[in-house]
Amino acid sequence: MLTMRDTFIEDIYRRMHIDENIFFVTADFGSPMLDYIRKAFPNNFINVGIAEQNLINVSTGLSLEGYTVYAYAIAPFMTMRAYEQIRINLSLQSQLREINVNLIGVGAGLSYDVSGPTHHCLEDISIIGTLPNIILFSPSDCALVQKFVDYSINVKKPKYIRLDGKSLPSIYNNLGDIKLENGFTEIKKGEDVCLISTGYMTHKAISVANILKNIDIDVGIVDVYILKPLNGDLLYEVINRYKYIITIEEAFINKNGLDNLISIILENKNSDIIIKRLGFKDSYTFTIGSRDHLHRLNNLSEEYIVESIKKISKEI
């Protein structure tokens, strides 16, 4: 099973054979597939070293000269070490000049579970989402990533692509069925409760729904992958028939993450749907352990979510 990054890089590698206008820049971060690019396209590849600020700046310069650029680094370091470079050179500048820089950040959420809080990436959706002119893509499986390759080349704007570090099972079987421009997919319709999630947590939402199905609770699942721009009207059409919405994310809650994106839609529509936000409280997790263990500590385990929904179902 390929990781999302290798799937994405493999497709970029294929494109580089027919498109000499692609440039790949890394901040000394690798992947098995990247070795193919390094070897085959030394003229269109550069390693800036462990220097995320320069990664963004050099990528901007390449893009201003017409290249489609992929800038590759560990997600928390790219977004937070180089935040001002992203703000000035990509967010601000792309309002005045055409810039196609695709930031590929690997390690969304708790991908780097045992590395501790320096490597946990719980802020990226909030802080990148607040910057104008940047598209925020948060895929849950490799098919979405493959689908995004064309988009990354054709839509000439800065983008932040947050990828999970782990290999994940596939959710979408048929590439042709994915309507990328919608920004989300209703994976499953449910009765009263809908789970809305992004990235890795969509897999958790699916497991939770499967567990609940055995006890005759039928929940809906919506996987949101383009968090910005979020098609609020379209999303509301899908979710307005539910009584409860539960947002599930590996991010801080109440801080402009997925939960806020959804609550704003509900507020704008004067909706009386009740929203429950599952995610990280205002605290870092120093405890060492697997992703599942860290989820248990932060009320994101399958058991906790299942119990929450059972409780809600009784109230309805």
Partner 1 sequence: MTTENNDFLEFLRRKAVLTRKETLKIHKIAQETRLASSLSCIEIFVTLYYGKMLAHNPSNIRWEKRDRFIISKGHGAISLYPILADLGYFDKEELCRVCYKESMLGSIPDCGISGIETINGSLGHGLGVACGMALALKRKKRNEKVFVLLGDGELYEGSVWEAIMFAGEHGLDNLLVIVDSNKVSMLDYCKNIIDLEPLDEKFRVFKWDTSIVDGHNICELYNILKILKCRTSGKPKVLIANTIKGKGVRSLETDSLSHIRNLKSEEIDKIISEMV
- Contacts with partner 1 by CB under 8 A lie at 23, 43-44, 46, 48-49, 51, 53-54, 56-67, 84-85, 88-89, 92-93, 96-97
Q: Which is nearer to partner 1, 67 or 112 (CB)?
A: 67
* Shortest distance, position 78 Cβ to partner 1, whole Å: 14
Q: Which is nearer to partner 1, 156 or 276 (CB)?
A: 156
* Shortest distance, position 65 Cβ to partner 1, whole Å: 3
* Shortest distance, position 206 Cβ to partner 1, whole Å: 41
For the chain, the residue count is: 316
* Shortest distance, position 63 Cβ to partner 1, whole Å: 7
The Cα angle at residue 105 between residues 101 and 110, in degrees rounded to 5: 160
* Shortest distance, position 84 Cβ to partner 1, whole Å: 6
What are φ and ψ of residue 275, in 5° steps? Answer: -115, 130
Helical ranges in the chain per DSSP H: 4-18, 32-40, 52-64, 75-81, 83-85, 124-129, 142-154, 201-214, 232-239, 258-268, 291-297, 302-315
Q: Which is nearer to partner 1, 92 or 288 (CB)?
A: 92
DSSP 289-304: --HHHHHHHTT-SHHH
Strand, helix or coil for residue 311: helix
Q: Which is nearer to partner 1, 51 or 180 (CB)?
A: 51
Neighbours of 154 (CB within 10 A): 9
Q: Which is nearer to partner 1, 57 or 198 (CB)?
A: 57
Neighbours of 302 (CB within 10 A): 16
